[in-house]
Amino acid sequence: MIKISVFNQFNKELKCLWLDLQERSEIYMFQTYNWLAHWQKTIGVANQNEPCIVVVEVFGRIEIIIPFCIEKKYGIKFLTFLGGEYTDYHMPICSSKGEHLLLDNKIWQKILKVVPNYDVLNIKKIPENVILSGIIAISGIKFNVISHSYSINLPSDWLEYKEKYLPRKTDGRRKRKQLSALGTLRFDVIEKNSPEYLSVFQALVKEKQKRYISTGLKDMFSDESAFNFYFSMPVNVGNNAVTNLSVLRLDNHILAAHWGVVDKDRLYWLVPAFSSAWSKYSPGRLLLEHLIEWSYSKGIKVFDFTIGEEDYKKEWCNDEMPLYDAISVDSLRGYVYSILLLVKEKLKNKEKIYKTVSKIKAFIKTIKK
């Protein structure tokens, strides 16, 4: 017997059901109760997102949780997943039995009947392994690769990695030597209850904002809710996953810092920043070296850079995974939106072609000279 219910808020009952299921599910840290409940409390509420979390019970036991919410933008109602941009991998939470159920389009038809009316169903950043499993079996849904995630499957020990695989190790040694001549270079992992946790995190955010300005990227920390999301995240994210703040200092100067999560044998590289004043010494890369070495000491096997096409991730990684967007429409308004989205993508592709052609022309001119 299958029973489907919807929760419009996080509460004690939902927490109990969720914690039980996440212990029986193969999920990423981003699907834990604490991560998504905290996101809703700090980000979702600020953006007026409306949770509509679908819980599927089979013969008295919860086997599936779909972390849906309604997000309103441009006058359109999007049915999407909780966590938004702050969650790098989106997927349902399901046991092995639940995974088998989700292979059937009929269960998805029942699930979509109990959620509020929407115009567009849009699930973002779905890992390729989730797509290949076939559990998003929604009729008419379209999948498109939108980005990749990058990671390092760490070899057996740090010395082997350092000697055989560490990028630019000679340059790293030289810059480390140059910094050491100026003072004491020190790497630390800062505990949440440490009196310096706030100052290190504030320094990280300050440098991150400088970087956003210099690159013209959207400053997520311009909204106070983003600061609160990361800073006030529970230390225990769930399923043995814990937050991790690390810092590289030269005497009292913060050269680089990183906020992420350690989940069993995986470290998620999420919010890194380095001091622009010390950029000639590549402090971000040196911090990364230290954090990888520290990862070995903690038994970590996967160093996960998550989503993003930054060149340094491609340089360091030995594994990559496509991430997909899934979209389907459920109203005339949603259909119009999908057409506009298609036009936008075509214009973007034309712009890329134009830029490429311009570069080729410029190169040809240099040859003629």
Helix axes 224-231, 197-215, angle to 10 degrees: 140
Q: Are 256 and 283 in contact (CB under 8 A)?
A: yes
Largest CA distance in the chain: 78
The string of DSSP codes covering 183-195 is S-EEEEEEPTTST
Task: Output the pTM of the full model.
Answer: 0.90
Q: How far apart are CA 231 and CA 161, in angstroms?
A: 32
Among the listed residues 78, 137, 65, the one whose alpha carbon sits nearest the alpha carbon of residue 108: 137
| Claim to verify: residue 193 and residue 104 sit in the same structural domain | no
For 58, the domain range is: 2-144
| Claim to verify: residue 119 and residue 178 sit in the same structural domain | no
Place of tokens 């509509």: 52
286 inside domain: yes
328 inside domain: no
Note the pLDDT of residue 215: 86
Q: Are strands 302-307 and 266-274 parallel, antiparallel or unpaired?
A: parallel
Q: How far apart are CA 271 and CA 207, in angstroms?
A: 11
Residue 80: strand, helix, or coil? strand
Provide the 10 A C-beta neighbour count for residue 344.
10
42 inside domain: yes
| Claim to verify: residue 266 and residue 163 sit in the same structural domain | yes
CATH number of the domain that 138 lies in? 3.40.630
44 inside domain: yes
| Claim to verify: residue 210 and residue 286 sit in the same structural domain | yes
Contacts of residue 115, defined as CB under 8 A and 6 or more positions apart, other chains included, come to 6, 52, 54, 68, 70, 79
pLDDT tens-digit map of 177-186: 999 999 999 9
Residue 49: strand, helix, or coil? coil
Note the pLDDT of residue 333: 84
Structural domain count of the chain: 2
Q: Percent helix, strand, coil in the chain (nearest 5)?
A: 45, 30, 25
Residue 167: strand, helix, or coil? coil
CATH number of the domain that 216 lies in? 3.40.630.30
Of the residues 300, 331, 352, the one at which a domain ends: 300
Exposed (0-12), middle (13-18) or buried (19+): which is 272, by Cβ within 10 Å?
A: buried
Provide the 10 A C-beta neighbour count for residue 109.
12
Of the residues 300, 325, 347, the one at which a domain ends: 300
337 inside domain: no
Q: Are 256 and 248 in contact (CB under 8 A)?
A: yes
121 inside domain: yes
Note the pLDDT of residue 84: 95
Q: What are phi and psi of 195, to 5 degrees?
A: -65, -20
Among the listed residues 63, 42, 115, 124, the one whose alpha carbon sits nearest the alpha carbon of residue 326: 124
| Claim to verify: residue 119 and residue 213 sit in the same structural domain | no
| Claim to verify: residue 74 and residue 111 sit in the same structural domain | yes
The string of DSSP codes covering 212-241 is HHHHT---GGGSHHHHHHHHTS-SEEETTE
What letter does residue 173 receive in the DSSP assignment?
H
| Claim to verify: residue 110 and residue 195 sit in the same structural domain | no
| Claim to verify: residue 125 and residue 10 sit in the same structural domain | yes
| Claim to verify: residue 120 and residue 248 sit in the same structural domain | no
- The size of the chain, in residues, is 369
| Claim to verify: residue 191 and residue 229 sit in the same structural domain | yes
Q: How far apart are CA 363 and CA 357, in angstroms?
A: 10
Give pLDDT < 50 ranges for the chain: 353-354, 357, 360-361, 363-365, 368-369
| Claim to verify: residue 106 and residue 206 sit in the same structural domain | no
Amino acid of residue 183: G
Note the pLDDT of residue 368: 46
Structure tokens at 207: 């440098």
Note the pLDDT of residue 129: 96
| Claim to verify: residue 6 and residue 127 sit in the same structural domain | yes
Of the residues 300, 321, 352, the one at which a domain ends: 300
Exposed (0-12), middle (13-18) or buried (19+): which is 67, by Cβ within 10 Å?
A: buried
